[in-house]
Amino acid sequence: MLADYAVRVEQSRGRRFPEPEHPYRNDFQRDRDRVIHARAFRRLEAKTQVFTRRYSDHFRNRLTHTIEVAQIARTVAAALGLNVDLVEALALVHDIGHPPFGHAGEKALDAAMREHGFSFDHNLHALRIVEDFEQRYAAFPGLNLTFEVREGIIKHSRDYDPRQHPELSEYLLDQRPPLEAQLIDLADEIAYNTADLDDGYEARLLSLDDIRAGLPLFKRFYHDVEARYPHATAKLKFNETIKRMLDRMVGDLIENTRRALKDNYIASLAAVRRYPKRLLALSPAVERERRENKDFLYQQLYFSPTLAGEKDDAEVVVKSLFAYWMEKPSALPANYQEKAQSEPLARIVCDYIAGMTDPFIYEQYERFCAG
């Protein structure tokens, strides 16, 4: 049963290129499946989330993170009566535009683009991927996703100014996105705020004492776990604590959003779109805890001296290859050389680099730039 404010697939604005109905899948289910079968989705398995494989091959990568986001998003969507098929499609596609090396690679690629008067935005790049780069169908370019999925790719995590992005005018930039899209950003935050603590602890870059000292919420839950499971191993106590943190954030997101929808008399998708701010949110108390968690991770993990060398390496690799292909576009693959005839070379070089996996970009660096 869908809530009155949910997106209904039968009211979808449709696809850019009309297609006949499928006999046993609705349009959002088809979009989900198209994302899963896309090459760009498969490549997420070899793109860094936080830790490269130098540490271990069992830490999260961009693909496993995406799967965790989808699990959290489906749970919240079902509890709120949202369209779970649309939510799952949006969760699976939300990181498809990320370049290699995680956020360090994105920062380096954006800096390289700005030297040529452009910029890099992984949401906008994701739209380029599904609209153009994925070539799987004879009848149309790209994946021909529904409007609602394409809108969610653009708007799930930020609002774009229509004056600065006239090329996105079809995506209702003056309106809020549906709740299904709003959910993805918070599911993403909840997923990595807990998962990165887990991976940081496993990598021994975060000690138990440091986490307890820096995160009052973790300390409180860990104390409760110790009292209940005094003979459990330290790692199992850690796991139980992380589980409680995850449950607290997910449960609060569901209940706080329910209250916001009720208190503001939101009874339609149109009312969601007209509302002056995003309705899907954590309560003030849990939002403070989320920010504390995020700030702790930035200070103690993401910008730790241990990871600084890898970030420096990422910057060197991305900028060196970008400069090389800008100087020698004839070294690009033939299909990218062809695209450069109709689009700026910097954009094409950016597209090529952004699509690479971590291992492949290292191979290219060794081939063209090292030594």
* 3-state helix/strand/coil string of the chain: CCCCCCCCHHHCCCECCCCCCCCCCCHHHHHHHHHHCCHHHHHHHHCECCCCCCCCCCCCEHHHHHHHHHHHHHHHHHHHCCCHHHHHHHHHHCCCCCCCCHHHHHHHHHHHHHCCCCCCCHHHHHHHHHHHHCCCCCCCCCCCCEHHHHHHHHHCCCCCCCCCCHHHHHHCCCCCCCHHHHHHHHHHHHHHHHHHHHHHHHCCCCCHHHHHHHCHHHHHHHHHHHHHCCCCCHHHHHHHHHHHHHHHHHHHHHHHHHHHHHHCCCCCHHHHHHCCCCCCCCCHHHHHHHHHHHHHHHHHHHCCHHHHHHHHHHHHHHHHHHHHHHHCHHHCCHHHHHHCCCCCHHHHHHHHHHCCCHHHHHHHHHHHCCC
Structural domains of the chain, ranges and CATH numbers in brackets: 9-308 (1.10.3210.10)
Distance CA 355, CA 294 (A): 28
Burial class (CB in 10 A: 0-12, 13-18, 19+), 142: buried
Question: Do residues 293 and 215 make contact, with C-beta atoms less than 8 angstroms apart?
Answer: yes
For residues 93, 95, 98 and 100, what is the CA-based torsion angle, rounded to 10 degrees? -110
**How many residues are recorded in the chain?**
371
pLDDT at residue 219 in the model:
97
Half-sphere exposure of 70 (CA within 13 A, CB side): 19
Question: Do residues 56 and 203 make contact, with C-beta atoms less than 8 angstroms apart?
Answer: yes
pLDDT at residue 49 in the model:
84
Half-sphere exposure of 151 (CA within 13 A, CB side): 27
Query: What string of pLDDT tens digits covers the 371 residues of the chain?
Result: 899 999 999 999 999 999 999 999 999 999 999 999 999 999 999 998 887 656 666 789 999 999 999 999 999 999 999 999 999 999 999 999 999 998 889 999 999 999 999 999 999 999 999 999 999 999 999 999 999 999 999 999 999 999 999 999 999 999 999 999 999 999 999 999 999 999 999 989 999 999 999 999 999 999 999 999 999 999 999 999 999 999 999 999 999 999 999 999 999 999 999 999 999 999 999 999 999 999 999 999 988 888 888 888 999 999 999 999 999 999 999 999 999 999 999 999 999 999 999 999 999 999 999 86
